[in-house]
Chains A and B, each alone.
Chain A
């Protein structure tokens, strides 16, 4: 192992998709550089990582509100309609004693998206302020946001299955509510937000200190 040199310092660039390390000669001009192995455009850091991630995080925070306030399902049974938000579904499960299910939905739909958004916000601020604080742990936090986001889709799938099954000859029907659209939007935007954040930015502010 050599003494802590990064690809950036050595004018090398590693491809985002196939991880081939190439010489970054073309970057001194204006032209784009293409990875000779897989054909994707090379960047030393993900392009406009911070502004993209900020935009997606902000959008997700905004979507999070209607996702939780608006109903995600409406049960119509014998002419009587009852709407449920994510939280009222959780409460229903707690009241009926099915707390493991309540816990799954609470964690997947309410806790995970919020935690993910707060972690990304924290990482964005820490990079912009050039904090030196525990880069290894911050990278670990980033890894968590990459992994957990997908599990929030659980509730969307539950709605899909319920909608398909509960059409018992007009006796009862379940309709998906507008909350489901916003909730799906939260999941998708937070996933894109995690993908557009470049964890190498966490380490870049450290390197300037060594110089």
Chain B
């Protein structure tokens, strides 16, 4: 396990010969300061558990209303998808599609994709259908999942609406809050180098 691997800094292209990093340590580029590699503790287990938690929370967050507006006897509830549908009806298709992709489709693809890859790896097997392609796709989708930005959007809207009517936070808003933590923790505990190494074994 002491074999050296050649690695090039992805931000300044400087070459390094890296030996296996001790657990919990980080290798940074001496020239530009980019993180070259990070050996994370129990990366596979932690990412897997945060991913499963994230999927459960995602279902709850989408199934229940996250905000309700009360004015007199009128109550209007909203789930995540109603806003998208409403925008679509108002001839704002492009914006509706963007919101749908960044807050619903990409996060759910990210979560199920990670589960699909990590569950077999956990029991020392390879996922059966093109694991390399799936992981590559997930890595490029990563910046487009914007749940945490959506949470700020919820907070701003609550303040904005507070003057018009009574705003009641729904169950889903709490699952949103925890979901964001789960997504961030899953992303932070993932070690892409480890996954690539494991996927390479059977080739």
Count CB-based A-B contacts (< 8 Å).
Answer: 194
Report yes or no: B193 in contact with A19, Cβ–Cβ below 8 A: yes
CA A151 to CA B143, docked complex, whole Å: 11
Question: Is B139 part of the binding interface, using a Cβ–Cβ cutoff of 8 Å?
Answer: yes
Across the interface, which residues of B come within 8 angstroms of A157, CB to CB? 99, 103, 149-150, 152-154, 157
Query: Knowing A19-B8, A164-B78 touch, does A203 contact B193 (C-beta < 8 A)?
Result: no
Neighbour of A163 across the interface among B87, B133, B136, B156, CB < 8 A: B87
With A20-B196, A160-B153 as contacts: A139 and B87 at CB distance below 8 Å? no
Instruction: Say yes or no: B34 contacts A139, CB within 8 Å.
Output: yes
**Which residues of chain B from 143 to 190 have any CB-CB distance to chain A below 8 Å in the complex?**
143-144, 146, 149-150, 152-154, 156-157, 159-161, 163-165
Which one of A2-10, A51-59, A114-122, A125-133 is at the B interface? A2-10
B residues in contact with A139, CB < 8 Å? 11-12, 32-34
A1 at the interface (CB under 8 A from B): yes
A39 and B136 contacting across the interface, CB-CB below 8 Å: yes
Binds A, one of B52-60, B68-76, B111-119: B68-76
| Inter-chain contact A161/B98, CB cutoff 8 Å | no
How far, in angstroms, from A40 to B135 measured CA to CA in the complex? 11
Interface residues of A in 129-159 (CB under 8 A from B): 135-136, 139-140, 142-143, 146, 150-151, 153-159
Q: How far is the CB of A54 from chain B (nearest CB, A)?
A: 20
| A91 at the B interface (CB under 8 A) | no
Tell me which residues across on chain B come within 8 A of A60, comparing CB atoms: none
Per-position 1/0 for A18-30, Cβ under 8 A of B: 1111000000000
A38 to B130, CA, bound (A): 10
Q: How would residues 186 to 206 of chain A score, 1 for a CB under 8 Å from any chain B CB and 0 otherwise?
A: 001001000100011011100
Contacting pair B32 A18 (CB below 8 A): no
A181 at the interface (CB under 8 A from B): yes
Residues of A contacting B136 with CB < 8 Å?
17-18, 38-40
Q: What chain B residues lie within 8 Å of A6 (beta carbons)?
A: 8, 12-15
Which one of A16, A153, A160 contacts B83 once the chains associate, using CB atoms below 8 Å? A160
Whether A69 is near chain B, meaning CB under 8 Å from some CB there, is: no
- Return the chain B residue nearest A44 by Cβ: B13
Q: Does B127 count as interface, using CB distance less than 8 angstroms?
A: no
Query: A161 contacts which of B33, B78, B132, B149 (Cβ < 8 Å)?
Result: B78
- In Å, the complex CA distance between A175 and B89 comes to 10
Within 8 Å of chain B (Cβ to Cβ): is A65? no
Q: Answer whether residue B17 sits at the interface, using C-beta atoms and an 8 A cutoff.
A: yes
Shortest Cβ distance from A105 into chain B, in angstroms? 7
Q: Which chain B residues (79-108) contact chain A, with CB distance < 8 Å? A: 82-84, 86-87, 90, 92, 94-95, 98-99, 102-103
Residue of B nearest to A180 (CB): B95
Given A37-B200, A165-B76, are A21 and B8 neighbors across the interface (CB < 8 Å)?
yes
- A12 on interface, CB distance cutoff 8 Å: yes
Contacts A37-B200, A150-B146, A181-B92; is A135 near B12 (CB within 8 Å)?
yes
Contact A135 B149 (CB under 8 A): no
Chain B residue nearest to A7 (CB atoms) is B8
Q: Is the CB of B31 within 8 A of A21?
A: no
Query: Whose C-beta in chain B lies nearest to the C-beta of A108?
Result: B152
Q: How many angstroms from the CA of A203 to the CA of B31 in the assembled complex?
A: 10
Q: Could you list some 24 contacts between A and B, CB below 8 A?
A: A4-B14, A4-B31, A14-B8, A18-B192, A21-B8, A37-B132, A38-B132, A39-B133, A96-B163, A136-B32, A139-B33, A143-B11, A157-B99, A161-B78, A164-B82, A165-B69, A165-B78, A168-B69, A168-B165, A171-B71, A172-B164, A184-B95, A203-B13, A203-B31
Seed contacts A162-B161, A200-B13, A203-B32; 8 additional CB < 8 Å A-B pairs? A6-B13, A18-B135, A37-B196, A38-B196, A150-B146, A165-B67, A165-B69, A165-B76
